[in-house]
Structure 1
Amino acid sequence: MSRKSFVPGAALVAAAALAVGLAGCSDGSSTDGSATDAKSGDATSAVQSAEPGRYQTLPEACGLPSRSSLRSMLPGDGQQLSSAEAKKLYAGQADITYDTDRRVGCRWSRETTRGTRHLTLDIQRVVSYDAEVSDDDKAQGIYAGKQQDAQIPSDGSASPGTPPPSSAKPKGPTADGAASASGAPVAKDSKTGGGGNGTDDGKSSTTGKAADQASGKATPGTPEASTPGAAPSGSIAPRVLDDLGDAAFLNDKLVTADSGLHRDVTVVFRTSNVIVTLTYDQWSTDKSMVPDSQELQDKARSLAGELSDRLSE
């Protein structure tokens, strides 16, 4: 039996065919791999870094409120300040923080013969370390927690668990013949008369009955602090504020203690990734002189608007 002779040309043809087949297999693998890589790339591109917040730094807190606002919120009740005393009072006391780009604060207080007023300011810059959560969304979550803790309904109705306005009915008229919204005598400072537009020394020319009203003295028939803690009614109840920052609320509490009573008004608002908490309170050692809710709220709300504008500059 004769053997077939080796033909080089046939071998070359076979080798070429084998090479084509391998190339085809390689192309198929490459196509599958490319599809896998593209899919992986799509997943990566879908997880993009969330938008950073507007604020990367924070201002110096004690320098934010204007001098006129501080004079209005810290009346002297006739006490005259020297220039050195006024400078120290309105300069405030800065909070000690370890990162002034993340949190700053300041506090002011003024003591008079009829009580003490305190103003505190806390500013927090929120940073999200989650690539899928923006700084603004993170800040909104923190703000929402504060609103929930304060029991401020999103619809602006009275906080749950607080007595209805009818439970705080006054026993008689106040000095001007009208009951205050909280059922308590209206306590006004001699300097501001409830308006808050006075000078540093807080001098007043009110006399007689008007002086008694401005000083916050209870007149016959006015209720004493027999119902402290009663919720303010109407437009001064704790509520959501629609015209301040990106989100805001106001809380108002009247607290009684053995040494006296105090009303605390708090305004919290968010602008982008910054949350501002402003607390303004008035203490009174005389329980017959209940701090006026409307006055404190008006001044706190005015300062909050001022701060919002300053932060937006």
Structure 2
Amino acid sequence: MAYVPGVALLAALVVGCSAGADSNANGAGGDAGSPTVTPAPRGKYLTLPAPCRAVPRGTLKDLLPGAAELPDGQQEKAFRGTASVTYDTDRKVGCGWKSDAPDATHRLSIDFERVVSYDPTVSDDDRADAVYTKKVRAAGLSSSATPGPDAEKNTGTPGEKGQERDEDKGSGEGESEDAAGNATASADPSSPSGEPSGRTGGTGESSGNSGSPEAALPSRILDNLGDAAFLQDLPTRAGSTAHHRTVSVVFRTSNVVVTVRYAEQPALATQASDSRELQEKAQALARKLAETLSE
């Protein structure tokens, strides 16, 4: 009977120590009020498609007139395309094609960028949306309005736009680039506003095939293409004797940003590209790529 109180005291001490250990192991005690951080969701896409096989042969024949008339060996090379140089094929891939026809030279390129957020509080989709938004701003567009000729000039500061281009494209030398990565013309000294030569926001002589403002649709936000999309129609002069036009379609679907560029340079200086046709073909290819990603 004399040892019972001692046994009871020892048992109480053991229970108390065990409770304290369990409390510390479960994060209780001093850290009981610490919030639990839930990681942001990952993006839908963990891989990217093979870019040089992403465009069907029939579509390439339509976009690259003249390639189908080449000898078999040259034709196969033309349709095979050239993969873009990239150092991380899990994050960014691309492919380009070129064809020469008697009336014009055509160039096509596609780029896929899979965006990953390294901030646990920011989702991959939100990070991809930020990348896409930078491209929209660099193009002088917004989701609420269609830009005029001065939209790009009035969007952001030159320093901000230059920094965004360097971040998105890794390009700091040579010709300046627009949001979709196209080389732009240098400023025309004769232009009172310092606007690039031969470039407009969808109005002016160089906007369309016939030289009338109605002949071309302007750069704009697109509906029903991925989660967000825009088109940029960029007419330039490739030299003193030739016109050159590039249509770019950029869209985002989940955490992947896709860019389609379709360019035409007529063989004769008196010819101008059909802006509407280039836009329609570039949009049609972009929609096919969006469908492929969704499969």
TM (norm. structure 1) is: 0.66
- Counterpart of 2:280? 298
SS in 2 for 1:85: helix
Give the drift of 1:39: 7.7
Alignment partners' CA distance in 1, 2:286 and 2:30: 50
* Alpha carbons of structure 1 residues 248 and 233: separation in structure 2 relative to 1, 3 Å: farther
2:281 aligned counterpart, secondary structure: helix
1:273 aligned residue (255, 258, 261): 255
1:263 aligns with 2:245: yes
Q: Distance in 2 between matches of 1:135 and 1:234?
A: 40
Residues 39/135 of structure 1: CA separation in 2 closer, same or farther (3 Å cut)? farther
Task: Name structure 2 gaps, 5 residues minimum.
Answer: 1-5, 152-199
Q: Does residue 74 of structure 1 match 2:64?
A: yes
List per-residue Cα deviations over 1:205-243 (Å, max 9, x = no partner): xxxxxxxxxxxxxxxxx78xxxxxxxx659821111111
* Deviations 1:135-164 (CA, angstroms, capped at 9, x unpaired): 000000000000000111212413451667
Q: How many residues align?
A: 245
Q: Which residue of 2 aligns with 1:309?
A: 291
Deviation at 1:284, TM superposition (A): 2.5
Does the CA contact (< 8 Å) of 1:115 and 1:283 recur in 2? Answer: yes
The answer for the alignment partner of 1:157 in structure 2 is 146
Write the mapping of 1:48-63 to structure 2, written as runs, cut at 5 A.
48-63=38-53
CA contact (8 A) 1:152 1:158 kept: yes
Separation in 1 of the partners of 2:40 and 2:293? 23
CA distance in 2, matches of 1:160, 1:185: 18
Shift of 1:43: 3.5
Cα separation, partners in 2 of 1:38 and 1:287, compared to 1, 3 Å: farther
Unaligned runs of at least 5 residues, structure 1: 1-14, 171-180, 187-221, 224-231
Identity of aligned pairs, percent? 38
Query: Shift in Å at residue 113 of structure 1?
Result: 2.8
Q: 2:28 is matched with which residue?
A: 37
Bigger Cα Rg: 1
- Quote the offset at 1:98 in angstroms: 1.8
Residue number in structure 2 paired with 1:131 = 120
Q: 1:39 & 1:81 partners in 2: Cα distance? A: 76
1:86 to 52, 62, 75: 75
CA contact (8 A) 1:159 1:238 kept: no
| Higher relative contact order (CA closer than 8 Å, sequence separation 6+) | 1
TM-score of the superposition, structure 2-length normalised? 0.70
CA RMSD of superposed structures (Å): 3.7
Aligned-partner Cα distance in 2 for 1:164–1:80 = 36
State the secondary structure of the residue aligned to 1:277: strand
